[in-house]
Chains A and B, each alone.
Chain A
Amino acid sequence: MTSFAKPLKIALGLIVIAGLIVVPMNFNRYGLFILSQWAVMTIAAMGLNLTLGYAGQVSLAQGAFVGIGAYAAAIMTTHGWPLPAAIVVAIVLSFAVGWVLGYPALRVQHHYLAFVTLAFSTLAFLVFRNESWLTGGIYGISNIPRPHIFGFATNKPLPFYYVCLGSLAIVSAAVWWLIRSPWGRAFMALRENPLRAQSLGIDTRRYTLMAFAIGSALGGIAGALYAPLTQYIDPVPFNLSLSLDLLMMVIVGGAGFYFGPFLGAMIAVLLPEWLRFTEGYYLMIYAVAVMLLLIWSPTGILGILDRYLAERRTKAASALRAVAKSRLETVQ
């Protein structure tokens, strides 16, 4: 990267953050709901990106963890607990369940692992639907309160949007730290070459379980925000299709790229709104667009950018080499 690129990136980042804070102030209730949903889904997709994109462990169960977090938050806050406490419980619960779900990954990989996690997803859905003493069954849980943060009520859409955005900021910072720590490198080593990783002292078992547990915990956080966002939950939103949607967000945005989930969630949440004018054709257009994208760039949208930057770097490097060579020849 050239030296001016870094300040440029920081400036761009600040503009985006400022935009996310200021622009929605004029949004109506529905616009704020959509944007809050984007923030929540980004958190869940970041978790899956960690498990799948960085650590290479296929999971079709991220939606189930969003469900676990959502039910934990719904049950606790309707019984008078504050939301932060519910978030902590959601994290601990989904971390623990995610850890256990990681064990099959120590034995099976790829599409076999996908089936194991798919079965888990179904199991979680059945628990949400059938254990009505806890979850309210098909009637769900309604009147989920929104929290008071430092004494401020966040009942209105705008304050609650800021709760979601703030949570996204905290999670983003934590994930940024994680992937740049030796853990992040170890996760990538799992994805790239577990055999080599083992022989370099990387405890592949422990890191695999951690990748599942942390990724799932982020799903749990997303769920714990989803419940007060919609203020009503039932089992349907947490069925397999949510897991598939989250998978799509990660793949379309670019698996293994830090900003992939932000972009993927934006497309998945906002595109239906933008394509509203096409009426019934929205899903068809979306499906065709995804197919074309993945044929063109299997590494998602950020994969295209990455390839472009890599090409430019290569060109720059070979130009430098050519200059060095010609200088060498003149000297001789």
Chain B
Amino acid sequence: MSAVLEVTSIKKNFGGISAVADVSFDVREGEILGLIGPNGCGKSTLFNCILGQLTPSGGEVKLDGKVVTGLRPAELNKLGVSRTFQLLQVFPKLSVRENLILAGQEHQGNMASRLVGRSDAGLTEAANQMIGFFKLDHLADEPAGGLSYGQQKLLDAAMAFMGGPRLVLLDEPAGGVNPSMLSDLKERLIAINREKNATFVVIEHNMEFVMSLCSRVMVMAEGKVLAMGRPDEVRKNPAVIEAYLGH
């Protein structure tokens, strides 16, 4: 399996604080990589550096072997890299359907055709499909801001999949989502992973969710990679137990 994403020696300092200190790893085509670690260990900062939302203090990010460090988030998204957010990030006043249409529209045509060409014909249909897939049918015309926390998390995930991304970085998708909705979400992620051959990196604190979903797990602590391996290996690793999982 080839690497979709190669991260080499990424560093990020905020003033004198080193949030991410020399992190290197790669993500293989089609895998679901879990990213775990205590709060404040640099997981989200690492995501933001990879996605161009923060400029790394050093290091390099390669997508399909091409350097993409320093590209803006919108440019990376056009290359097929999508994400979800730890905190709710939807368009609150727009309906669920409009949120999803927005999530897909920039992947069709160009600026000019988006103004004059009515290029959204297929978009509404794609949005409706995604609504069905995530069982949001009864909420399709509601403003996204009126949805419950868990529903908005689900919508956030659905939005990340609208453009048909190859690589999706999910930041705590299970946070605040109730158990039955969570098993739904897991099913959906596995389905998209298999059918659309999408690659995922998932930050999550819910161990059961991570261990059952991911093919490999990376553990971070204090801005560094502590361990990387299969879920059962990582779970037994003494350093990981010490730093994160507890006895």
Q: Which A residues have a C-beta under 8 Å from some C-beta of B?
A: 178, 181-183, 185-186, 188-189, 192-193, 195-206
Contacts and interface: CB of A to CB of B under 8 A. Distances in A.
Nearest 3 Cβ contacts at the A-B interface: A201-B77, A201-B106, A192-B91
Contacts of B194: none
Contacts of B77: 198-201
B72 to A, nearest CB: 7
A178 B72 CA distance: 26
8 contacts: A181-B114, A188-B93, A196-B159, A197-B102, A198-B53, A200-B82, A200-B106, A200-B163
A127 to B, nearest CB: 32
B94 A192 contact: yes
A202 B74 contact: yes
Contacts of A198: 53, 72-74, 77
A204 B74 contact: yes
Contacts of A205: 72
A186 B111 CA distance: 11
Nearest to B162: A200
A135 to B, nearest CB: 34
Interface stretch (B28-36, B115-123, B233-241): B115-123
A178 B115 contact: yes
Given A186-B105, A197-B91, A202-B74, 17 more contacts: A178-B115, A181-B114, A181-B115, A181-B118, A182-B119, A185-B102, A186-B106, A188-B102, A193-B89, A193-B90, A199-B73, A199-B74, A200-B74, A200-B77, A200-B102, A200-B106, A206-B111
Nearest to A198: B73
Chain A's interface: helix, strand, loop or mixed, by majority?
helix
Contacts of B72: 198, 205
A200 B162 CA distance: 9
Given A199-B51, A201-B77, A188 B91 contact: yes
B139 to A, nearest CB: 11
Contacts of B91: 188-189, 192-193, 196-197
B186 interface: no
B124 to A, nearest CB: 12
Interface string B60-83: 000000000000111001100011
A267 to B, nearest CB: 24
Interface string B89-116: 1111110001001110111000100111
A199 B82 contact: yes
A102 B106 CA distance: 21
Contacts of B73: 198-199
B134 interface: no
Contact of B94 (A188, A201, A202, A206): A188
A150 B78 CA distance: 48
Contacts of B78: 201
Interface in B196-241: none
B25 interface: no
A192 B88 CA distance: 12
A297 to B, nearest CB: 15
A198 B111 CA distance: 15
A202 B85 CA distance: 16
B92 A192 contact: yes
A28 to B, nearest CB: 42
B106 A196 contact: no
Contacts of B89: 193, 195-196, 199
Contacts of B111: 203, 206
Contacts of A193: 89-92
B159 A200 contact: yes
Contacts of B118: 181
A195 B85 CA distance: 10
A182 B102 CA distance: 8
Contacts of B101: 185
A204 B75 CA distance: 11
Contacts of B163: 200-201
